[in-house]
Structure 1
Amino acid sequence: MSIITLTTDFGIKDHFVAVAKGKLLSLMPNCQIIDVSHKVDFYNITNASYIVNGICDAFPKDTIHIVCVDAELYEVESFIALHWNDQYFLAPNNGILGTLTEQYPSDLIVELEISDSVKCAMDLFIQTASKISSGEKLENLGKVVESCVTFVDVKPIVANDGNVIRGTIIYEDHYGNAVINVSKSMFNEVGRGRNFRMSVGTRYKISRINKFYSDFNLEVKTLKDYEGDALLIFNELDFLQLSLYKSNPVKTGSVKSLLGLTYRDSVTIEFETKEQE
């Protein structure tokens, strides 16, 4: 029984997701379909890449991941099937899968052959998933290529002789947390244990990273008193994350509504130099 995951920007109001599932079940009656997310921000390949990066280690060998975001059939140069970490990923070749291949190379990347019967990108992915599930070799489904498109405009930059990291907000989650494209390994490598400061708007200057959300100095205030305060933490994917403690995006606000920071906004992390010590 094949496991198929779906990540799209289709939303949940219309019939598009149901049609995709119906076609999958028609070709593979015994497959198990897992909804990852259908509320990726419209056409937002950075959001999609972050979400897909977060699910890779959770699924068993030979899972087929369909990622259909910003996937207009006649706008994207090519569509790819990728074998990576013993799993299959089907997506437009627009940068969505670049985050995976930057971690370590894929075993095989194929530009999918598009037949006349294909009316949309999802049809292409469904047909490809069916062929993979039936045992057809990936290299028989199109042209083997060496690499896929990667992001170039949302990568963190190290500046000022290694004393500054300039990052970008790449994702806002359900709780209103803002994920920054600075990994824990990069932060530690550049910071080398030095003190740092990150300015957040005009109100906050954060100079520590919480080990967990409620990691505050309780000798100064109670946890209740810290509600709404900004904090930094490394999230479950080891990305730096800006949060408001116990915030509620609907009732009390979020990083976006209260601090004015949203997707693609830049943040600057300054590390202490010897002259400042």
Structure 2
Amino acid sequence: MSLITLTTDFGTKDHFVGAVKGAIYSELSDAKIVDITHEISPFNITETAYILKNSYKSFPDKTIHIVGVDSELSKDNKHIAIELDNHFFVCPDNGIISMIASEIIPTKIVEINIHDRVESSFPVLDVFVQVACFIARGGNLTVIGKEIQTYKKMIEIQPKVSQAQNQIVGGVVYIDNYGNVISNISKKMFQEIGKGRRFKANARRYSFSKIFTKYNEVAGDSAHDSIQYDGDKLALFNSAGYLEIAIYRSNLDSVGGASTLLGLGYRDSITIDFINDSKPDYTPLT
């Protein structure tokens, strides 16, 4: 049985998701299809990269991931199939794979070349499905594409470090269902650059000198009466290992989320300034 995931910006109102699933079942009647999400913001490559990076690892080896975001074929937006970390990805070459491939070198990348046999304005349905099902049957990637060595990289996905190693400049890559704001600054980078130094994390006019490991740590010893902390802002490294600005127990219908309350949106800058002194006012993360 083949396991195939779908990540798209199609939404669920239209017929697109159902049509893609139907095409897969027509090719592989015993396939298992898992929806990662179809609610990506339209054409949002950075958001797709974040979701893909933090979801694919939960699936077993040899899973095939179809990614349909900004997938229309053009000279600058080719279609590729990638074997990486013992998984397969069928996607446009528009930077979607950057966040994963920046940490793990792909085993093989091919530029899909079956388009001369398939004329389509819906490539996820007519091309990506064919490629995914071919891989599921044990097909070699080089049969459906020419092997290439590079993929399109998205510079904005990677935070920058100052020459003096005293500042990390990152940005907002995702806003979750609670309105929490997720940056591209990883816990690993924070520890490697910070080296235990004091710091100040800045997001618009707000700053943070402490990073929590759990949301309810903001309540401290008052956890039994934590309702008084509802609406407090905090910074933490989330379960995916990225710096997140959050509102404790945020409720978009009442308290509001960090995005709206703090005025933070996609691509807004988040920086961390490290202080070179010997007076740490926080417990270094382990």
Bucket of the pairwise TM-score, normalised by the shorter protein: over 0.9
Q: Does 1:236 align with 2:239?
A: yes
Match of 1:117 in 2: 118
Write out aligned runs for 1:35-74 (5 A).
35-74=35-74
Match of 2:141 in 1: 138
Gaps of 5+ in 2: 281-286
Write out aligned runs for 1:231-270 (5 A).
231-270=234-273
Check whether the contact 1:76–1:92 (CA below 8 A) recurs between aligned residues.
no
1:275/1:90 CA distance change after superposition, 3 Å: same
Match of 2:214 in 1: 212
1:56-85 alpha-carbon deviations (Å, 9 max, x no partner):
211112110000101112465310000011
Distance 1:195 1:89 in 2: 40
Distance 2:46 2:137 in 1: 31
Report the CA distance between 1:136 and its aligned residue. Answer: 1.4
Distance 1:267 1:275 in 2: 25
Indicate the RMSD between aligned Cα atoms, in angstroms.
1.8
Aligned residue pair count: 276
Q: Does 1:150 align with 2:150?
A: no
Distance 1:68 1:126 in 2: 11
SS in 2 for 1:5: strand
Check whether the contact 2:71–2:77 (CA below 8 A) recurs between aligned residues.
no
- Structure 1 runs of 4+ aligned residues shifted over 6 Å read none
TM-score normalised to the size of structure 1? 0.94
Report the CA distance between 1:276 and its aligned residue. Answer: 8.6
Match of 1:87 in 2: 87
1:220-267 alpha-carbon deviations (Å, 9 max, x no partner):
794222111111111111111111000112332111211100110001
Report the CA distance between 1:200 and its aligned residue. Answer: 3.5
Distance 1:4 1:177 in 2: 29
1:189-218 alpha-carbon deviations (Å, 9 max, x no partner):
11111111123443x421111121111354
Distance 1:111 1:194 in 2: 45
Match of 1:25 in 2: 25
SS in 2 for 1:214: helix
Gaps of 5+ in 1: none
SS in 2 for 1:270: strand
Check whether the contact 2:203–2:269 (CA below 8 A) recurs between aligned residues.
no
Distance 1:242 1:139 in 2: 43
SS in 2 for 1:225: helix
Report the CA distance between 1:275 and its aligned residue. Answer: 9.3
